[in-house]
Amino acid sequence: MIRQEKMTVVAQAEIATNIFELTLQGELVQDMTPGQFVHVKVSDSFEPLLRRPISIADVDKEKNEFTMIYRAEGRGSQVLATNREGQLVDVLGPIGNGFPVEAVEPGQTALLVGGGIGVPPLHELSKQLNAHGVKTIHVLGFQTADVAFYDEQFASLGETFYATVDGSKGIKGFVTTVFDEVKPEFDVFYSCGPLPMLRALEQYYPDKEGYLSFEERMGCGIGACFACVCKTTDAVEKDYVKVCSDGPVFPKGVVAL
């Protein structure tokens, strides 16, 4: 159930260039599943008015804490980056349908493919898949090495390959360059990142079962404003879906890419 809560800042740190890790504590954490997101009000004033959607990157239900990782680029996220330990942050969530962990059987292998600020939700997903007895392979794409994060966390969960546009970390190129070179063997793929990456992934593995998470622009975040609608393919009955309430995760082949 989606609820609103003033959550307490446990820690905030810059973990890569302009990339922040923010840990919050509160009751909402008990309902969180991987691939869901929260809608964050970045300041108490009317400016900026709209909430910002951010993925759930790590969940610790025992401590009632969750972590998000975000790029402080625009107005709202820069305000969010000024929050310090002990301050309260207004959070709406958890929102949306996350990644189906049960889509892959214990003993099978999942390929997790992330690009830039699409990488954070794959961390909690990988944790849950590993707990479910699934082997995970991670292929993570970034612009450059200085904006990459969570190296150790991903390495502790499974084999991890990197692609950067300038070759400063891992293979020079895109995640598809890694597929060409490494030829990963897997049963199901899960992905979150920019649209061209999701499109390439669908085309690359047409015969594999896969799930894609979309980071569309949003308004209300709760299905009421139509800001996040995406056209669907001919394979589905509906003409469009709302990323906030129907997604953000969809099986491959649902959203027209």
Ligand X SMILES: Cc1cc2nc3c(=O)[nH]c(=O)nc-3n(C[C@H](O)[C@H](O)[C@H](O)COP(=O)(O)OP(=O)(O)OC[C@H]3O[C@@H](n4cnc5c(N)ncnc54)[C@H](O)[C@@H]3O)c2cc1C
Question: What number of chain residues touch ligand X (CB under 6 A)?
Answer: 22
Q: Give the residue ranges of DSSP H helices in the chain.
A: 75-80, 120-131, 151-155, 175-182, 195-204, 243-246
Encoding tokens for residue 243? 């990323």
Rank residues 139 and 228 by Cβ distance to ligand FES and give the closer one. Answer: 228
Residue type, 140: L
Q: Which does 54 bind (CB under 5 to 8 A by kind): ligand FES, ligand X, none?
A: ligand X
* 31, 165, 188, 227 from 131: Cα distances, Å: 18, 32, 16, 36
Asked if 123 is part of the footprint of ligand X (rule: CB under 6 A), the reply reads: no
Asked if 117 is part of the footprint of ligand X (rule: CB under 6 A), the reply reads: yes
Encoding tokens for residue 62? 């025992």
Least Cβ distance, residue 2 to ligand X (angstroms): 13
Residues that bind ligand FES in the complex, under the rule CB under 6 A = 218-221, 223-228, 242, 244
Asked if 73 is part of the footprint of ligand X (rule: CB under 6 A), the reply reads: yes
Q: Which does 223 bind (CB under 5 to 8 A by kind): ligand FES, ligand X, none?
A: ligand FES
Rank residues 220 and 236 by Cβ distance to ligand FES and give the closer one. Answer: 220
Asked if 120 is part of the footprint of ligand X (rule: CB under 6 A), the reply reads: yes
Rounded Cα distance between 243 and 36, Å, is: 11
Encoding tokens for residue 9? 């800042």
Asked if 217 is part of the footprint of ligand X (rule: CB under 6 A), the reply reads: yes
Least Cβ distance, residue 37 to ligand X (angstroms): 4
> Under a CB-based contact definition with an 8 Å cutoff, are residues 112 and 141 in contact?
no
Least Cβ distance, residue 203 to ligand FES (angstroms): 27
Asked if 23 is part of the footprint of ligand X (rule: CB under 6 A), the reply reads: no
Residue 109 per-residue DSSP state: E
> Under a CB-based contact definition with an 8 Å cutoff, are residues 72 and 15 in contact?
no
Asked if 248 is part of the footprint of ligand X (rule: CB under 6 A), the reply reads: yes
Asked if 12 is part of the footprint of ligand X (rule: CB under 6 A), the reply reads: no
Q: Which residues contact 204 (CB under 8 A, 6 or more apart)?
A: 176, 179
Asked if 54 is part of the footprint of ligand X (rule: CB under 6 A), the reply reads: yes
131 — phi, psi (to 5°)? -65, -25
| Interface residue with ligand X, options 215, 230, 250, 252 (CB under 6 A) | 215
Binding residues (CB under 6 A) for ligand X: these are 37, 50, 52-55, 68-71, 73-77, 117, 120, 215-218, 248
